[in-house]
Structure 1
Amino acid sequence: MLLPPANWLPQAPLEHLHLDWLTSAGIEVAILRLDQIDPLISGNKWFKLVEHLKAADRAGAEGIISLGGAHSNHLHALAAAGKRLGFKTVGLLRGHAQETPTVQDLQAFGMQLHWLGYGGYRARNEPGFWEPWLAQYPQLYAVPEGGGGLSGALGCAAIKEQAQAQLATLGWSDYHGWWLACGTGTTLAGLVLAEAGVHPVYGALAVPEDHGVAPQVESIMQSAGLATAGYELIDASRGGFAKVDPVLLEFIEQTEQASGIPLEPLYTGKALLALKQQVEAGRFAPGTRLIFIHTGGLQGRRGFSASR
Structure 2
Amino acid sequence: MILQTPTEPIPIQEIPVDKNIKLFIKREDLVHPQISGNKYWKLFHNVNTYLENQIEDPIIITFGGAFSNHISAVSAIGKLAGIRTVGIIRGEELQHKWRDNPTLLFAFRNGMNLKFVSREEYRNKEKLSEFLQQGFPNALIVPEGGTNEDAVQGVKMMLNNETKDFDYLCTAVGTGGTIAGISEFCEENQKVIGFKVVHDSSLEDTIDQLTLKKNYHLIDSDFGGYGKIKDENIRFINDFKEKYNIPLEPIYTGKMMQRVFELIEEGYFPDNSKILCFHTGGLQGIEGANLLLEKQNRKLII
1:67 is the counterpart of 2:63:
yes
| Deviation of the 1:87 alpha carbon | 2.1
2:40 counterpart (27, 39, 46):
46
Q: Which amino acid aligns with 1:246?
A: D
SS of aligned partner of 2:228: coil
Q: 1:33 to 1:270 in 2, by over 3 A?
A: same
| Deviation of the 1:216 alpha carbon | 0.9
Partner of 2:129: 130
SS of aligned partner of 1:57: helix
SS of aligned partner of 2:178: helix
Could you tell me the percent identity over the aligned residues? Answer: 30
Distance in 2 of aligned mates of 1:7 and 1:270 = 28
* Conserved 8 A contact 2:31-2:40: no
Distance in 1 of aligned mates of 2:7 and 2:176 = 23
| Deviation of the 1:86 alpha carbon | 1.8
User: Any gaps of 5 or more consecutive residues in structure 2?
Assistant: 294-302
1:265 counterpart (231, 236, 250):
250
* Conserved 8 A contact 1:208-1:239: no
1:177 is the counterpart of 2:177:
no
| Deviation of the 1:199 alpha carbon | 0.8
1:232 counterpart (211, 217, 221):
217
Distance in 1 of aligned mates of 2:22 and 2:243 = 16
* Conserved 8 A contact 1:63-1:141: yes
Q: Which amino acid aligns with 1:107?
A: F
| Deviation of the 1:288 alpha carbon | 0.8
Partner of 2:291: 306
- Range with greater deviation from structure 2 (113-122 or 128-137): 128-137
Q: 1:230 to 1:84 in 2, by over 3 A?
A: same
CA deviations over 1:254-307 (Å, ceiling 9, x no partner): 111111110111111110111111111111122111111110011011111101
Alignment TM-score, normalising by the size of structure 2: 0.89
- Range with greater deviation from structure 2 (229-238 or 93-102): 93-102
Q: 1:183 to 1:136 in 2, by over 3 A?
A: same
| Deviation of the 1:28 alpha carbon | 0.8
Partner of 1:170: none
User: Any gaps of 5 or more consecutive residues in structure 1?
Assistant: 168-172
* Conserved 8 A contact 1:89-1:110: yes
Alignment TM-score, normalising by the size of structure 1: 0.87
SS of aligned partner of 2:124: helix
Partner of 1:285: 270
RMSD: 1.8
Q: 1:52-91 maps to which residues of 2 (within 5 A)?
A: 52-57=46-51, 60-61=54-55, 62-91=58-87
| Deviation of the 1:7 alpha carbon | 6.5
| Deviation of the 1:9 alpha carbon | 5.7
Partner of 1:148: 147
Partner of 1:35: 29
Q: 1:59 to 1:134 in 2, by over 3 A?
A: farther
Partner of 1:14: 12
| Deviation of the 1:60 alpha carbon | 4.5
SS of aligned partner of 1:270: helix
Distance in 1 of aligned mates of 2:6 and 2:243 = 33
Distance in 2 of aligned mates of 1:134 and 1:60 = 18
Q: Which amino acid aligns with 1:205?
A: K
Partner of 1:206: 197
Distance in 1 of aligned mates of 2:23 and 2:252 = 18
* Conserved 8 A contact 2:193-2:216: yes
- Range with greater deviation from structure 2 (187-196 or 49-58): 49-58
Q: 1:272 to 1:8 in 2, by over 3 A?
A: closer
Q: Which amino acid aligns with 1:32?
A: K
